Each structure stands twice: as C-alpha cells, then as structure tokens.
Amino acid sequence: MNRRLFLTALLGSAIGVPLVTSNTFTPPFTAALAQWVGGGRVPSFAGATAWLNSPPLDMASLRGKVVLVDFWTYTCINWLRTYPYVRAWAEKYRDRGLVVIGVHAPEFSFEKNLDNVRRAVAERKLDYPVAVDNDQAIWRAFDNHYWPALYMIDAQGRLRHHHFGEGSYEQSERVLQQLLEEAGNNDIGETLVSVEAGGIEAAADWRSLRSPENYLGAARTEGFASPGGLVPHQAHPYAAPAQLRLNHWALAGNWTVEGEAARLNAAGGRVVNRFQARDLHLVLVSAVPGQPIRFRVRLDGAAPGADHGIDIDAEGRGTIEAPRLYQLVRQSGPVAARNFEIEFLDPGVRAYAFTFG
C-alpha cells in the first residue's frame, strides 16, 4: 500500500456526472476502476474479516441504494480530518437511500487488533457499517491505493464518482444528492451539511505547511540525522545532533528501530524533529498493552505553553494510554520552523509516524 495521501483540497474527480467545481488534478484512474465503469465486475466486500455496526453486506443486497464506500485507517490524520463530513452525510441521508460503508484497511500491524478498531469507532461515533479489511482483500478488489478514499456507487451498482484525500466536500455532497435524486428521492434539496471541525479534526493550515509525513521505522523513514545513521533491528545507543535541518529527525537513548516503528528500550529516550507546521502529531503505542507511558514535550528547548496540542498540557506533559495518533503541537501564533523534542519517562514506547497539519 502507498503512503497516506498528503493532499490539498483541490484533489478529486468524477465519473459520469457533472463536476460541481473544477479540479486542477485528477487522481490515478486505475484499470480496475475503468473496467468497473465499463460494466465489469462490481468489487466485493466478501474479504472482510469482521463487520462492526452491521451484519455482513454485499453489493447485490445493496442494489437500489446509493452506496458511499470510505477507505480509512484510524491513525491517519488525513482521514481524521475528513470523517466528520462522512459521518454527517451518513446521518443526513440515511433515511433517503444512502448507505455509508467504512472499510478499515490498516496501515500498521496494531491497527489490525479488533478491539483497537472498536475503540476508534466508538470514540469517533461512527454508527454506519464498518467492514474490517485486515487482509486488504476489499482494498485489492477496489484496486485502492489511498487513505482516505471515497467511492460513490449509484442505485444500479455503477461507480459514479471517486475522490482521494482531503477536501472537495461540497462537490462530494452534491454528487451524493444527485445520485439520491436519480434513485427516486425527490426531497433531497440543495442544503449542505454544516461541520464545525475543531481539535484534531480541524483542516490543516496548508499555506504554512512545509513538513511532510514521515515514518520512524526502518522500512520507510527519511531524513534520519543521528550520527552513524540507523542500525536496524537491534538495540543501539543513539545521540541527537547539535542542530537539525528542516524535516530531519533523530533519536537519543537506547532504541531498537524495527521495520514499522522505533521502540525505546530504556527510560529517558528522546525523539527530536525540526518541522514547520501548525500541528505536529505522532502515532504512539505502548509495547505492553494497557501499560501507560509518561512523556514530556519541548519546543525550542522550553515547555510548549500556548502551543501545546490537545494530548498534552502547557508544561508538555502527557501519557500514552491507547494505541493511536497523539496531537502534541498546535502553534497558536504565526507558524514558524520549530525544534520539537519528546522525552519518554518510561520505557516500552513504539513511535510509528509523524504527521502534520
């Protein structure tokens, strides 16, 4: 699977319906999607390893309904900024012929844990059907490559629209309204949902964003700056350099850099990063399920104060209590390049990915 898309609100495309807004970029239109549009086999949900909020569903039983398929993984910041719209559409149009199906296709191994997915579904108040796609069978059936990805299917089972990444919410809802009207629902109207997204769900500050997503595991990391480089898959003492260039990161302390994540072997280890974004997040997991891990964040060597994220206080203190994405920084004033540091006061953390907003 490819990386989660780091997209602006300009991305999107439509198939067989008028575009509500113009686009400057059309996402890849794969051979499998082209075959589907041409009347080929409709992708199947048969590969789901579990279903939440619903018994198993299939396209045959959904004929006559407009179906919105949303591919997601619960630690993806791009999905976290889009799901309030999907949830609002599900609520608004449920009684007018729309079925929303969330396909949870995990990026990291811990996201395959069904209890973790259940927790995320409950925390995000998702009450529509969720297909758990731990083996990526549905992902492959759709020939999907992105989180998040929306596929809109009309009442005859035809793919009519797809959108990859964030943004174009008005366009997507207009397409849903048109498909519902085509299916015989004459009272749809033109009013759009109103979403007040705050906290981790707030749209990125794209104008000031200069830092891309990065991974801390050996398989996909970039910009690693500890002297001597990475020593994968074995315990190793690392040191942080005196200075970091923008979008470079380093470890300090005794760590084992695994394929997916960096695992801390002794208390006091640190991760440092120089970034430029309003928001900084880290995907963090305790290696011992249920064991909390305390940490402290500094910006430019000091407590973050008003620039703290929702998962820490003004002194930079926080605790890992669940395997998820943690918002650690939200700059409250003009966005500038900053030096970020997180020190873990207990051993056993696994740090997976930086994301920004």
User: pLDDT tens digits for 294-313?
Assistant: 999 999 999 999 999 999 99
- Any idea which of 7-11, 72-76, 245-249, 289-293 has the lowest mean pLDDT? 7-11
pLDDT > 70: percent of the chain: 88
- DSSP per-residue letters across 42-72: PP--TT-SEEESSS---TTTTTTSEEEEEEE
- pLDDT of res. 31: 57
Q: Which residue has the higher pLDDT, 299 or 59?
A: 299
Residue 295 has a pLDDT of 98
| Residue 17: predicted pLDDT | 31
DSSP element (H, E) containing 281? strand 279-286
* CATH superfamily placement of domain 214-356: Galactose-binding domain-like (2.60.120.260)
pLDDT for 187 equals: 86
Pairing of strands 214-215, 235-238: unpaired
**pLDDT at 5 > cutoff 90:** no
- C-beta neighbour count of 351 within 10 angstroms: 25
Q: What is the pLDDT of residue 290?
A: 87
Q: What is the pLDDT of residues 18-50, one digit of tens each?
A: 322 222 223 445 555 655 654 555 688 999 999
Residue 265 has pLDDT above 50, yes or no: yes
pLDDT > 90 in the chain, percent: 84
For 13-201, which CATH class?
A: alpha beta
Class of residue 257 by CB neighbours under 10 A (exposed 0-12, middle 13-18, buried 19+): buried
Q: What is the pTM of this model?
A: 0.90
CA distances from 183 to 18, 102, 128, 154 (A): 17, 22, 20, 8
> What's the pLDDT tens digit per position in 152-184?
999 999 999 999 999 999 999 999 999 999 999
The stretch 190-204 carries a mean pLDDT of 93
Burial 34-70 (b: 16+ CB within 10 A, else e): eebeeeeebbebebbeeebeeeebebeebeebbbbbb
Residue-level pLDDT at 41: 58
Count of residues in the chain: 357
3-class DSSP state of 103: strand
H/E element, 87: helix 83-93
Structural domain spans, the chain? 13-201, 214-356
Residue 218 has pLDDT above 80, yes or no: yes
Overall average pLDDT of the 77-96 stretch: 97
250, HSE (Cβ side, Cα atoms, 13 Å): 19
Q: Is 141 helix (H, G, I), strand (E, B) or coil?
A: helix
